[in-house]
Amino acid sequence: MKMVHMKRDASKKTEGEMHIKSPEYPYGLEITLDKNQLKKLGHEKLEVGSEHTVTAHVKVTRSSVDERDGHSSSSHHLQITHMGIEPKSAKPLKDAPMDEYAERRKSGEKA
């Protein structure tokens, strides 16, 4: 699966506009996990700043289109039904040592 960076595009401002800092990533792209959810995923805690890979199955629960004044926008609600999280690997699965390869395949990572 291709990974796409979801960071917002740099906003453009015209002369005289105030610069208001907006979040780096769009609303709705943050996942919050409590202690019990982390435990289900096999983790005690995650260090701030650490990077991980999340794999998830989602179900589309709602889609909407809004048209106003000649402009159209759409949104889609995705309910995560299954997920896994693991530390970001420095190596692609195909290049991992045999024991790591076996463990990552066992946890559902695709070759």
Residue-wise pLDDT for 29-65, tens only, equals: 899 999 999 999 999 989 999 889 899 999 999 999 9
pTM: 0.60
Does the pLDDT of residue 98 top 60, yes or no?
yes
C-alpha 96/C-alpha 84 separation (Å) is 19
Q: Residue 8's pLDDT band (boundaries 50, 70, 90)?
A: confident
Asked if residue 10 has pLDDT above 60, the reply is: yes
104 contacts: CB under 8 Å, gap ≥ 6: 86, 89, 93, 96
Q: Which tokens is 28 given? A: 């709705």
pLDDT tops 90 at residue 1: no
Six-digit token pair at 13?
């401002």
Residue tagged 């792209």 (tokens): 29
Which residue, 34, 35, 40, 28, is CA-closest to 83? 40
Task: Report the pLDDT averaged over residues 10-15.
Answer: 58
Q: For position 80, what pLDDT does the model report? A: 93
- How far, CA to CA in Å, does 1 sit from each of 4, 13, 37, 93, 109? 10, 35, 25, 13, 11
